[in-house]
Chain A
C-alpha cells in the first residue's frame, strides 16, 4: 500500500488512488460523492468514470480502497456519532413495547428504532420473547427507510430463512455493556470476525486474542460488538471471578480506545489489568 491519502471536504480524489480493476462499477462508500463538471477542460480524471465527472470527499479522513469489491470510501473520525446503516449489527436497548413492536434505543438523542415482536428466531404469536424496559438485544439493522424522518427497523432474524443469521442475534441476557467509540467498534468487529490463521493483530488489535488466552482457564467469555459503539461482555461461565473478569475486559477495551494503544502496549495493559484485579491466569 502506498502512503495513505488524507482528504479534506472538497478535495478531488486523484485517479491513481482508485481501484484499477474496471470490470465492475466503482462503489462509493461513506464520505464521497460524485460531481459532474461540465466545463472541466482537462481530462486527467479517473478512467472508470467519464472525464466530466469527479469524485470529491465530503468528510476529512483517510481514503480506503477495496480492490476486491471495487469499492472506495473515507475513514473519518473514529469518535463520530453512529448513523444507522442497513445490515449493521447493533446492540439496542428496549425502551418500551407496543402491541406489534419493541421500541429500542440505538443511540441516545436519536428517535427510537422499531423491532418487530415476532422478528426473533422461532417466534410465534404464542411464544415470543417477553422483553422488558432496559433489556438488551443484539440486532441487525433491517432498513433505515427513505427520506426525512423515516424509522429505523431492526430485526433479530433473517426474514428470508427465519434463522438468527449471523449467529448470536437475539436478547442478550446477563453480562454488561461498555461504551466505546464507533471507530473502535468497527475495528473490534474486524478483529473478532477474522479467523485464527490470519496474521496476528487484525486492525491493530491483539487485545481479544490476548484476553481469550489469559481468561481461558477462568472459563472464557462471550462478547457482542455493536456498531453503535457498544460492546457487551459476559463471563457467566467463570464462576467466582465472573464479575471481575467482565470488569477487566471492559476496562481493557475502553482504555485501548481512549489512548490508541499499539499491540505491544495492549498486551502489557491486559497483564496489568488482570494483575490489578487479582485474576489468576
Chain B
C-alpha cells in the first residue's frame, strides 16, 4: 500500500497550509487555514463563547455544488469536535478552512464524496496543525469498500466504489475513539463491525504500549499505520522549522 505524502506550510500568506497527495484517487488536495480571523457581521452570535468554523471545498474544475456542501457539513462537524474554540483569542472569531481539490479523478456532480473524504480530513488536520490552531487531539481516517463477496477493499478507486455493495468512511482520534462513521449502500452489522476493525488497524496499527509509555507502531498487512505517517509529516516540518534550535543544543 502506497502511503500518502504530504507537505506542510506550502502557502506563504495563509496562517497554515498543507498539500496532500492521495495515492488511491491520485488527487492532490491543497488546504489552507486562516485563524483566528474576524467574522463579518454577527454570524458568531449563536455561540459567543466558541470559535466559528467554516469549511469550503473547491473542486478543481467545477463550481462547488450540493456534494461539496454536504461534505463541508461533515468536515465542519468533525473538526468542531477537535478544535478547542474556547482557547485564548478564538471565541467569536472564525477558523476558515479552504480545501481545493487539484487533479485526480474528479467527482461528478451529485456523486458522493466518500472516497475523497479521508484525504480532505487529513489535509484539514495538517493545515490546522500548521496554523497552530489549538486541538484536543489528532485523528486519522480511511475509506473501505465492501464488494458482493464480502471482501473488504481498502481505499477503493472511483470504479471500485461504484460497483461495491457498501462504502464506509471511518475516522479515529489519536486516543482511539471513533470520530466519524459515514456509510453508503446496504450492509449488515457484522459487515460493519469487520469494517470497523479493519479501519482501526489501518489508522492505528496494532498498538503495543510498553511499560515506559512508548507506543510501538506495529506493521501488518496494511503497512504503516496512517497515524504514524501523519505524525512523521508533522515532525519533519517541526524539525525543519526549529533546525536552528536543535543544532545549537
Which A residues are closer than 8 A to B by beta carbons? Answer: 1, 4, 6, 8-12, 14, 31, 44, 58-62, 75-81, 83-84, 109-111, 144, 147-149, 183, 187, 201, 203-205, 260, 262
Tell me the nearest residue of chain B to A60, going by C-beta: B129
Interface centre among B132, B173, B247 (most CB of A within 10 A): B132
11 residue pairs of the A-B complex, CB under 8 angstroms, read A4-B245, A6-B234, A8-B174, A9-B174, A10-B173, A60-B238, A62-B245, A83-B89, A204-B248, A260-B244, A262-B243
Q: Are A58 and B134 in contact (CB under 8 A)?
A: yes
* Closest CB in chain A relative to B119 CB, distance in Å: 19
> How distant is the Cα of A280 from the Cα of B92 in the complex, in angstroms?
53
B142 within 8 Å of A (CB atoms): no
* Closest CB in chain B relative to A45 CB, distance in Å: 10
Interface centre among B34, B37, B134 (most CB of A within 10 A): B134
Where chain B touches its partner, the secondary structure class is mixed
What bracket does the count of chain B residues touching chain A fall in?
35 or more
Q: Are B16 and A1 in contact (CB under 8 A)?
A: no
Quick one: given A9-B135, A109-B37, A148-B49, are A204 and B129 in contact (CB under 8 Å)? Answer: no
Which B residues are closer than 8 A to A by beta carbons? Answer: 8-9, 15-16, 34-38, 48-49, 82, 84, 87-89, 91-92, 129-138, 173-175, 213, 231, 234-235, 237-249
Quick one: given A148-B92, A260-B241, A260-B243, are A80 and B136 in contact (CB under 8 Å)? Answer: no
> 5 closest A-B pairs (Cβ-Cβ)?
A204-B244, A10-B137, A148-B91, A9-B135, A76-B132
* Closest CB in chain A relative to B149 CB, distance in Å: 38
Q: Are B132 and A260 in contact (CB under 8 A)?
A: no
Tell me the nearest residue of chain B to A202, going by C-beta: B248
Q: Are B136 and A9 in contact (CB under 8 A)?
A: yes
Quick one: given A1-B249, A44-B213, A148-B48, are A59 and B91 in contact (CB under 8 Å)? Answer: no
Q: Are B244 and A203 in contact (CB under 8 A)?
A: yes
Residue in A79, A111, A203 whose CB lies within 8 Å of B38: A111
